[in-house]
Amino acid sequence: MDKMWSGRFSASASSLLDEFNASIMYDRKLYREDIEGSLAHAAMLAKQGVLNTDELRQITDGLNQIIKEIESGEFEWKIEDEDLHMGIEKRLTSLIGDAGKKLHTGRSRNDQVAVDFRRYVLRKNADIVKALKLLMQEVIVVADKHTNTMIPGMTHLQHAQPINFAFHLAAYLSMFKRDIERFESSAERNNISPLGCAALAGTPHPVDRNMTAEILGFDSVSVNCLDTVSDRDFALEILFNISTMMMHISRLSEELVMWSSYEFGFVELSDEYSTGSSIMPQKKNPDVPELLRGKTGRVYGSLMGLLTVMKGLPLAYNKDTQEDKEGVFDAVETAEISLEILKEALKTMEVKSHNMESACAIGHLSATDLADYLVAKCDIPFREAHFITGRAVAKGEEIKIDLSKMDLTDLQAIDERIGEDVIEYLGLRHSMNARTSEGGTATVRTQEQLEYFKNYLKG
Ligand code: ARG
């Protein structure tokens, strides 16, 4: 009878351990990387004489059969197999017998997981770069139509100077371009093969690391095995890169949320990408940009999570490292859907140019132009010009007229040196187009910027 309870106890304890210890329910996402890694390793072992031709053929056929089983949903993922590496190897051995038991020669799960996860991250770097380029293209389509649409340029969320809407969007193009460069540079730095590092110290078997690196599409092999099996910088980099990209997406989203309010009324998101309220029938809510803003927080969480997992680890591999995957998978999936939905939301959004331009008529957006006029035309030092302009603004506030619409007599009452050519200077479109310095908002300059990004995308 005592066996009964001890049997029960050990069974329940081990299933708890299985559940706690296993990564198979999520690392199975890496099945292609894992099997391709095994195929490359087997081919190399055969070339080195560790496997004979028949063993290699059996292993290759078995692994290809397993890919089919996984893709058709037939493969049985069992929690007691712990991770995908063991699950696949066990299945291989059950399919082909002894030859399957030789596959792990000169290899450890430590270099195996490093290969799989690194290749997954490299693949996702490339996918995200592609999606970012498509998003940039869509931003350019919108921007191209609005190189002459004025919008209040702001600092401190206060009206500052008139800019054009395309110029505003080109700021985001700059951010997305930097994001792409960041993903690309991470991919370049981390394109090194861990295979052949084995558990931590290398292996006495005659492995050819360059051969497997080449088959798997890595640029080169890693230099130090102890580092390689415990290095997760590539995962941290993609998390940081996604975090930064999401921060940019979140800033744009915040603007889309504001712009869709009645107070701004600058854009209207399409019905397809808006939601309603369960109680207030009139509502049209910008859930898409709000969620993009919200999901950014979750991605930061994954970055902080992995940084924290890594910070106290002695060399080399520690099981803590298994915690690297879920946050990365989640962040990558969040990034992919976010890029796609933001692109669609922009594509279908209505830009209300009229409201943008009307908003420019308040807040004395051409005040800097009056100061610049006093400097350029009246030879007044800028500090003094700033003061005179301040008085003109105060006058405008008092008589409830925007500086851009004030008449000459009112202006000359403030300073008699002001000539009648000032009227043109204070015009809002003039103000916008006066900013012709490199990178400025003048329509011609903005068009140049859009050309720059188009050329960049053409590669
Ligand atoms: N499932 C493990 C992980 O994801 C694979 C490596 C296990 N290595 C080990 N020595 N227990 O990190």
What's the rounded Cα separation, in Å, for the pair 176 and 170?
Answer: 10
Question: For the CA atoms of the chain, what is the radius of gyration?
Answer: 31
Give tens-digit pLDDT for 355-413: 999 999 999 999 999 999 999 999 999 999 999 999 999 999 999 999 999 999 999 99
Residue 13: pLDDT over 50? no
- The minimum-distance atom of ligand 1 relative to the CA of 321 is 12
CA contacts within 13 A on the Cβ side of 455? 6
Q: Tell me, using a 6 A CB cutoff, whether residue 83 lines ligand 1.
A: yes
Cα(22) to centroid of ligand 1, in Å?
Answer: 9
Catalytic residue check, 220 = no
CA distances (Å), 111 to each of 228, 231, 245, 315, 354, in order? 8, 10, 30, 14, 60
Residue 5: pLDDT over 50? no
Give tens-digit pLDDT for 33-59: 999 999 999 999 999 999 999 999 999
The pLDDT value given to residue 1: 37
The pLDDT value given to residue 284: 83
Q: Name the closest-CA residue to atom 2, ligand 1.
A: 322
Reduce the DSSP state of residue 220 to 3 states and report it. strand
Q: Which tokens sit at 105?
A: 């020669």
More confident residue, 281 or 81: 81
Reduce the DSSP state of residue 285 to 3 states and report it. strand
The pLDDT value given to residue 65: 98
Lowest mean pLDDT among 26-30, 355-359, 421-425: 421-425
Cα(277) to centroid of ligand 1, in Å?
Answer: 47
79: buried, middle or exposed (CB in 10 Å: 19+, 13-18, 0-12)?
A: middle
Q: Tell me, using a 6 A CB cutoff, whether residue 116 lines ligand 1.
A: no
Average pLDDT of the residues in 21-31: 97
Ligand 1 binding pocket mutation candidate from 86, 108, 113, 310 (most atoms within 8 A of CB): 113
Q: Which tokens sit at 36?
A: 């391709």
What's the rounded Cα separation, in Å, for the pair 88 and 66?
Answer: 8
Residue 419: pLDDT over 60? yes
Q: Tell me, using a 6 A CB cutoff, whether residue 209 lines ligand 1.
A: no
The pLDDT value given to residue 119: 98
CB atoms within 10 A of CB 27: 26
- The minimum-distance atom of ligand 1 relative to the CA of 199 is 10
Q: Tell me, using a 6 A CB cutoff, whether residue 322 lines ligand 1.
A: yes
Q: Which tokens sit at 359?
A: 């908003």
Give tens-digit pLDDT for 122-178: 999 999 999 999 999 999 999 999 999 999 999 999 999 999 999 999 999 999 999
CA distances (Å), 156 to each of 160, 163, 348, 441, 442, in order? 9, 15, 29, 19, 22
- The kind and range of the H/E element at 365 are none
Cα(273) to centroid of ligand 1, in Å?
Answer: 42
Q: Which amino acid is located at 136 in the chain?
A: M
Cα(187) to centroid of ligand 1, in Å?
Answer: 23
- The kind and range of the H/E element at 426 are helix 422-426
The pLDDT value given to residue 271: 86
**pLDDT-derived band of residue 275, with 50, 70 and 90 as boundaries?**
confident
- CA dihedral for 301, 306, 312, 318, sign (positive or negative): positive
- Check 6, 277, 354, 358 and give the catalytic one: 277
Q: Tell me, using a 6 A CB cutoff, whether residue 55 lines ligand 1.
A: no
The per-residue pLDDT of the chain, averaged, comes to: 95
Cα(272) to centroid of ligand 1, in Å?
Answer: 44
Q: Tell me, using a 6 A CB cutoff, whether residue 369 lines ligand 1.
A: no
Q: Tell me, using a 6 A CB cutoff, whether residue 110 lines ligand 1.
A: yes
- CA dihedral for 405, 409, 414, 420, sign (positive or negative): positive
pTM, whole model, 2 decimals?
0.94
Give tens-digit pLDDT for 303-351: 999 999 999 999 999 999 999 999 999 999 999 999 999 999 999 999 9
The pLDDT value given to residue 112: 98
Q: What angle do CA 417, 422, 424 make, to 5 degrees?
A: 170
Q: Name the closest-CA residue to atom 7, ligand 1.
A: 109
The pLDDT value given to residue 10: 59
Share of the chain above pLDDT 90, in %: 92
Looking at the DSSP assignment, which residues form a beta bridge with residue 221? Answer: 193
DSSP 165-222: HHHHHHHHHHHHHHHHHHHHHHHHHT-EE-TT-TTTT--SS---HHHHHHHTT-SEE-
Catalytic residue check, 156 = yes
Cα(319) to centroid of ligand 1, in Å?
Answer: 6
